[in-house]
Amino acid sequence: MKNIFTLLPSLILLTFAVPNQSISQNIPTEEIYENLEWKFVGPYRGGRSTAISGVVSKPYTFYMGTTGGGVWKTTDAGNRWKNISDGQITVGSIGAVSVSESDENVIYVGTGSADPRGNISTGNGIYKSVDSGENWDFIGLPKAGQIGKIEIHPKNSDIVYVAALGNIFGPNKERGVYKTTDGGKNWKKIHYISERTGARDVEINPDNENEILASFWTVQRKPWMLVDGSDEGGVFMSKDGGKNWKKLTEGLPKGLMGKIQVEYSPANSSRLWAMIQAQKEEEGGLYRSDDGGKNWSRINRDHKLRQRGWYYSHINADPVNENIIYASNTGFYKSVDGGKTFDKRIYTPHGDNHGVWINPNNTDIMINCNDGGANVSLNGGESWSTQLNQPTSEFYRLTVDNQFPFRLYAGQQDNSTISVPSRGIPSLTPFENWFNAGGTECSDIAVHPTDPNIIYSTGYSGEFTYKNLSTGEEYQRTPYVHLTEGTRQDELKYRFQWNYPVFVSKYNPENVYVGSNVIHLTKDKAVNWDVISPDLTRQLLKEDEEKAEIPGGPIQNDATGVEVYSSIFALEESPHNEGEIWVGSDDGLIHITRNGGDSWENITPEKIIPFQGTVNKIELSSHQPGRAIAAVYNYRNNDSRPYIILTNDFGKNWKLISKDNGIPSDHFVRAVAEDPARKGLIYAGTEFGAFVSFNDGKSWNSLQMNLPNVPITDMEVTQNDLAISTQGRGFWILDKINVLQSTHEVNEQPHLFSPEEALRTNLGGGRRSGGLSFENDISFYLPKDYKIEEVDLYIKDSEGNVVVNFKEQTDYLYDVDYDSANVYMGTHTVYWDLEHAAPKVQNDFISMYYSARGGNGPLAVPGAYSVELKVLDKTYTQPFIVRMDPRWKTSTDDLKKQYEISNDVISLINESQEKLAEMRGIIKQVSNFINLTSGKDYHERVKDLGDKIIMSVKEIENNLYQDKIETSQDEINYPRKWTNHITHLYDRLTTDDQAPNDGMLDRVVELEENYKKYISPYDKIIEEDVPAFTKFLREKGAMGIILD
């Protein structure tokens, strides 16, 4: 992978000249900023998927449900994926996708993944599409929590069974097996055990639609453990469409049972399988019945199929061969002897598998889902489609660095860490723009504040990585080597959560801090560590055995580090005072030190936040010492209310700023950030989207716009961009947030927002490609509709010259339609790509270097500019600055020289093209007159005079213009003419940000002289031949040649 830092030899720190604004009482409506757009910045690297389906009659069409990123569809066997749920399905976590066999346009989606790892997100019910995923309707079961399976009647798409696992974080009655007979208009709960035990799987007998098989599972997530079974679970069967049920027991485990996955063989419906997790070692494994479920026997106890059974345990029968069955776990396995052995492992592009769908018409066609996304195979698993086309990464935290352009860093669930640029380098592919930042999937990352080559990252069991990109040095140093996996919590010397925090001091970058249950400090790149705090948690494991033991049970322990509890989750350094550190724990405490750790103060607002809430983020304000905003969540304790708290006095007093004031009551908050340019402008990231407060949290508005409904895990404001990480859709950026920073200025009059500084650079894809850019975005607000002729917008240089008239150059418009009769009420944004007007060539001109469809104009010279909005008789003006890319050292004088020479060449090109157009007009008119006088007694004279003009003009045109070129590389075949050479020279003059060299200047002079030589005979034709031709025609009563 190409190292992007080789393009950035030195670090550039940017400051943005936006005035510090006080807290405004003017609360804007969303219409002021609703046209802003979030931009996805990467990566295209798949995240978890636990739900898949295919279309039998369309072998290349498949659906994928992800655990945070919504529903996706491919119609070309996984080469390309398209999201089909954004804006319609209001959660990102998908647990089941099912396509009707009787009507393949009908699709049911159950939200809430039912493989409940520690970062699980809840669902909100069932959705249905009747047009192959184009449109979706919500059809019920909003409190069903996690939905593991949807089974559609094979002959009637209105009859549907749902396995609702229920609320994963606490008891609820909305769990069990549900049935609809009218396509989801009405639902009936047809089998229920208790408010703590739900249905995980449901299957219809392929030969008897009234026979239903279901599995039930007691499961609950707590912050410190996973409860994964009880005596209430088991396998159940109904033979009358769900009216009556019987628990199947003959040959099945008698004790406590955990997760169970069941399956019929489509090739022999008397053969059933059940993958059962049981408390007793001798009872867990794969069971089979060959008599329709009356009798069962354990046929396989292999641990490779049973490990972490609550997360895997998926089995899928081959649709045509009763002896073939597939099992999904960390690996993907195939049995050809009915499940007795699984000796064949099928290697998928990513591990941690969650199931397979197989096309019954051709069993070589299948789709597999796993922790890296979904993969399609057309040859039975010999090869698979890629996951590097799925923008569904799950990130835990977000770090941004201080270089230009800034980069985003995070650990990706079940992958590596990754660093992605905020704006791509045009010469690099997306994969070359990314790199591994060290550490592991769960890492928090810290970057040296002045040297972005130095990166620190956390990891499993307190692992800590130092990485130097410039030297290639990388090593791991842990404050204390002790496995958290499989260890009692009260035996851990330090409780490092799997996502424990880190920061590098901005005051002394040699000082690096991390948090376990105490704060650790290293001053020598992690070689040695000091503890600088007491235990800053509630230490609840001393009081509760459940919190002290190995996490998990009663079936299997699950001690990966996710369940490490009473640990430090948030760790921040003051931007105002050295030695001031704020700490938040996952059991509800907040501490502060103002002397580098010599003493600590508990500043927890015990009456405001939940007793065991997780302090996930502390934002220390850049506006005022002692000001902090914290995001606290408690959803893992079955409390999904939003908790955002604020202090202005170092924690002496706190207030809750998120209760009943705009953020829905079930949108728990993961992240907050305050805008460094405007005090009181606060952003919040919740489980379902983004919000903004313009008044210090007194009220909140949605900031969703085009952002998918996805959990936002972290957010940072830097270089006037709002960057976020998500749990299922990668990184996003809301750029050009000057509109949000200025909303308090808007009133009932038209308003022109102050533009940000524009940057002359080659970074970013530009607005025309839909990417992030440094182009100059210009936003204005209209309080009502105006007629198109009543609104004008201009860019002017420092001398008042018009650079751009937006009505004339509509390429710059992306939400103002100047072809319509009106400019509508609301905020509109146009952009200027810093180009002056480009040369104009003939419409049929084709070249490898310049296009008649729109070439590039010379770029603006850095300096002062202004934008002017005119509405009726009132004019609104805002100044702005164009600056040079700070990485480059080209002087303004050199850029002025480049502009002046380029402009001279533009004048030459434009003059020549006007002459060419005139020549073509003359030739056309003369030819017409020759044809029109055919048969007249003076025809020969007209023909003689006309042919002379045509021949002379064509000779000149032939010197200037190659008219045989019909496509770009024809230019290689046919001799290039003057227009080819001058446009090539113009391209070379304007491609780079440098003054023209002597070779360019010499070529300008040479082509000017050539033009004069070619064009001088034309003057004689215009002055003598054309008037003589016109005079003769007029003597004969004709009009003659008309020159524009």
CATH number (domain holding residue 865): 2.60.40
What is the token pair recorded at 931? 């044809």
Q: Domain boundary residue among 704, 731, 766? A: 704
Contact 122/165 with Cβ under 8 angstroms? no
Residue 334: phi, psi to the nearest 5? -130, 130
Cis peptide before 879 (omega within 30 of 0): no
Enclosing H/E stretch for 988: helix 978-991
DSSP letter string, 918-939? HHHHHHHHHHHHHHHTTTSTTH
What is the token pair recorded at 136? 């979706």
Q: What pLDDT, on a 0 to 100 scale, did the predictor assign at position 7?
A: 28
> Are 801 and 866 in the same domain?
yes
Q: Are strands 107-111 and 94-99 parallel, antiparallel or unpaired?
A: antiparallel
Contacts of 326 (CB under 8 A, 6+ apart): 315, 316, 317, 318, 332, 333, 334, 335, 346, 356, 358
pTM as predicted: 0.93
CATH number of residue 596's parent domain? 2.130.10.10
- Which pLDDT tens digit goes with each residue over 662-716? 999 999 999 999 999 999 999 999 999 999 999 999 999 999 999 999 999 999 9
Q: Is 431 helix (H, G, I), strand (E, B) or coil?
A: helix
* Cα separation, 507 vs 347, whole angstroms: 49
What is the token pair recorded at 553? 């049970």
- Domain of residue 647, residue span: 572-704
> Are 924 and 1026 in the same domain?
yes
Q: What pLDDT, on a 0 to 100 scale, did the predictor assign at position 818?
A: 53
Q: For residue 964, tell me if it sits in a domain.
A: yes
Contact 202/151 with Cβ under 8 angstroms? yes
Query: Please, what is the Cα angle at 765 between 759 and 767, to 5 degrees?
Result: 80
> Are 920 and 1011 in the same domain?
yes
Q: What pLDDT, on a 0 to 100 scale, did the predictor assign at position 820?
A: 67
Q: For residue 556, tell me if it sits in a domain.
A: no
Q: What pLDDT, on a 0 to 100 scale, did the predictor assign at position 17?
A: 36
> Are 855 and 914 in the same domain?
no
Cα torsion 662, 667, 669, 671 to 10°: value is -80
> Are 806 and 902 in the same domain?
no
Q: For residue 395, tell me if it sits in a domain.
A: no
* Cα separation, 994 vs 898, whole angstroms: 7
Q: Domain boundary residue among 858, 884, 910? A: 884
Task: Extract the residue ranges of the chain whose pLDDT is less than 70.
Answer: 1-28, 764-773, 809-820, 852-855
Q: For residue 550, tell me if it sits in a domain.
A: no
* Cα separation, 1029 vs 648, whole angstroms: 88
> Are 824 and 927 in the same domain?
no
Cβ neighbour number for residue 77 with a 10 Å cutoff:
18
Q: For residue 834, tell me if it sits in a domain.
A: yes
* Cα separation, 3 vs 44, whole angstroms: 18
Residue 92: phi, psi to the nearest 5? -95, -20
Domain count, the chain: 3
> Are 908 and 1023 in the same domain?
yes
Q: Domain boundary residue among 884, 916, 935? A: 884
> Are 670 and 593 in the same domain?
yes
* Cα separation, 1021 vs 92, whole angstroms: 72
Q: For residue 1016, tell me if it sits in a domain.
A: yes
Contact 978/1007 with Cβ under 8 angstroms? yes
Beta bridge partners of 943: none
Q: In what order do the strands lie in the sheet with 82-83?
A: 49-55, 58-66, 71-74, 82-83
Taken in order 889, 2, 714, 648, the sign of the CA dihedral is negative
Contact 636/657 with Cβ under 8 angstroms? no
> From the centroid of its chain, how far is CA 8?
25
Q: Is 784 helix (H, G, I), strand (E, B) or coil?
A: coil
> Are 898 and 1023 in the same domain?
yes
> Are 905 and 871 in the same domain?
no
Provide the total of helices (H) and of strands (E) in the chain, helices listed first: 9, 66
Taken in order 133, 134, 140, 144, the sign of the CA dihedral is positive
Q: What pLDDT, on a 0 to 100 scale, did the predictor assign at position 510?
A: 97
> Are 802 and 841 in the same domain?
yes
Q: Which long-range contacts (CB under 8 A, 24 or more apart) does 685-689 make?
A: 685/631, 685/711, 685/712, 685/713, 685/714, 685/715, 685/724, 686/642, 686/711, 686/712, 687/121, 687/122, 687/635, 687/640, 687/711, 688/90, 688/91, 688/664
Q: In terms of DSSP H, where are the helices of 933-977?
A: 939-960, 970-973
Contact 348/375 with Cβ under 8 angstroms? yes
Q: Is 705 left (phi over 0), alpha (psi -120 to 50) or beta?
A: left
E strands, 462-523, in order = 464-468, 474-476, 502-504, 512-515, 519-522
Q: For residue 496, tell me if it sits in a domain.
A: no
* Cα separation, 401 vs 635, whole angstroms: 31
Q: In terms of DSSP H, where are the helices of 678-827?
A: 738-741
Look up residue 371 and give its amino acid: D
Q: For residue 429, tell me if it sits in a domain.
A: no
> Are 969 and 914 in the same domain?
yes
